[in-house]
Structure 1
Amino acid sequence: MAIINNVTQLIFTGLFQDQEVQRVCFGIFLPMYVATMLGNGLIILTINTSKSLSSPMYFFLSHLSLVEICYSSTVVPKFISGLLTENKTISLDGCITQIFFFHFFGVAEILLLTVMAYDRYVAICKPLHYMTIMSRPVCHVLVVSSWLGGMFHSVIQILITVQLPFCGPNVIDHYFCDLNPLFKLACTDTFVEGIIVFANSGLIASCFFLLLVSSYVVILVHLRNQSVEGRRKALSTCASHITVVLLFFGPAIFLYLRPSSTFTEDKLVSVFYTMVTPMLNPIIYTLRNAEVKNAMRRLWGKK
């Protein structure tokens, strides 16, 4: 049966309705986006030009920064430009494209964070075999698998979405395209699609979060037998990663493991993981990591 789509343009309600508040938001979110691009870009440049940052941990960190740049750029530029205009529109095809890349980079980040936790587990619990287990070919396979996992997840989401008919309302109650707000505009019952999204997004985030927590429990148990200095050094390398995991997974689980709603606080939670977390990650990793800070100083000295 042919899918009927009378809707070609969608209108965002935005984050706030007041024009003055939107101008204030523009003044806040534009510098945040620029900081995200510069901070993550600097980490990628530093890691790829510094010989002292050649370990697998930094290889994964450079890919995480690349994902953060792509992830934030999927949503934020469109949102920021819309803050200065009354009509915040996007084509239906553009909306579906945004959903695809938003979920692609989001799940790729989840998988990369899991890979980084595994790297820390091997480094702390199996230090004598670390370079054998985390060889360069293995690292490449893990990174490629993370990107492919994000692609596979996103294809499933889009195959669900493109089959829905859109023939009536075209106002999407959000500041970017996501599945649950878009489903509310479909001219058919989307209960089954909502369950699939719940399983494909919420449960994925929850399962990997539990896996990450379990890996750090194992690490903490292993550290009981080490010296105070050994525990301090090991925990310092994990603290940044744990912080990033909590900042990313907390809002995502909150949104995807509960019934969808139109509350403003849901949009504010989305702001946290689309703009705040990608900006904070470079700060978190550099402030707690002397090697990265020293490499950045050397890079700055060369420039």
Structure 2
Amino acid sequence: MTEYGKFPAYRPRRMRANATVRSFIRETQISAADFIYPLFVMPGEGKHEEVPSMPGVYQVSLDTLPAEIDELTDCGVPAVLLFGLPSHKDEVGSEAYDEHGIVQEACRVIKAHAPEMYVITDVCLCEYTSHGHCGKLDETGYVMNDPTLELLAAEAVSHAAAGADMVAPSDMMDGRIAAIRSALDQAGFENVPIMSYSTKYASGFYGPFRDAADSAPAFGDRRAYQMDPANVEEGVREAALDIAEGADFVMVKPALPYLDVLNRVKREFNFPTAAYNVSGEYAMIKAAAANGWIDEKRVVLELLTSIKRAGADVIITYHAKEAARWLSEE
């Protein structure tokens, strides 16, 4: 008996004494197998250009793409999410659904080089439209919902035909999961799953991505179709709608400011759930680390653990390569 009185029989510090015993009771484990790496593919040859606001992230041409895939394979990262920088843009984003578009050709290159790499393609129009919005515009500049669905469905089918393993619509048009599922099934791609950006917020954390993908809107913003950051219940309803329409995976984006939403979605539906650790989150970590303000490895692994702990089955993250290497060293 100590002078401090009677302790309970259970003393939690006994199980924190060293790394081995801590590992015995660790509730959340992350590994390279949890990561999906976003890749930006561009026209040209010999291109491997670093994104200024995202140190360590590159725009790559088709001829340098295999080396990027080899690096990911060596790290143990099993999947990529492809974004394309088109050779030209127009009002209706026609290269998005061109069978020889940049993402379609990237799918063919990856599958010819490394068939085991799981290829997910972003399905949206913002990178391909001259105005930078995610759909067709009317004469007032409003993004028209239903006419956009036809283009998104055509884009998804063209990706599947090029070899994509999964398609991931990020546009936030109402009804697009049902439209894409129907189009894929009619085209004979009934086994190609859909990862829906179901709960995607109109966030200030997307800035560096718009540098990487050259997708900033030429006017206005995307608040008329992306979600209000204040809303949780609406985010749960969005996930429910997409599941009902045929999504195979739902997603919460961004990750860190919306861990509460991620947890709600996972608990509510117990459905395959992804989280996107977005460009602004990545850039903040990189900037703080470059200034010596944080221990980058420790912080990155902590934040990725927090995302998985909140409910993510997979994490889309620009940290995938370095995090996979760090985890292999532990």
Give TM-score, length-normalised by structure 1.
0.27
Structure with the bigger percentage of strand: 2
Structure with the bigger percentage of helix: 1
Give TM-score, length-normalised by structure 2.
0.25
Greater relative contact order (CA < 8 Å, ≥ 6 in sequence): 1
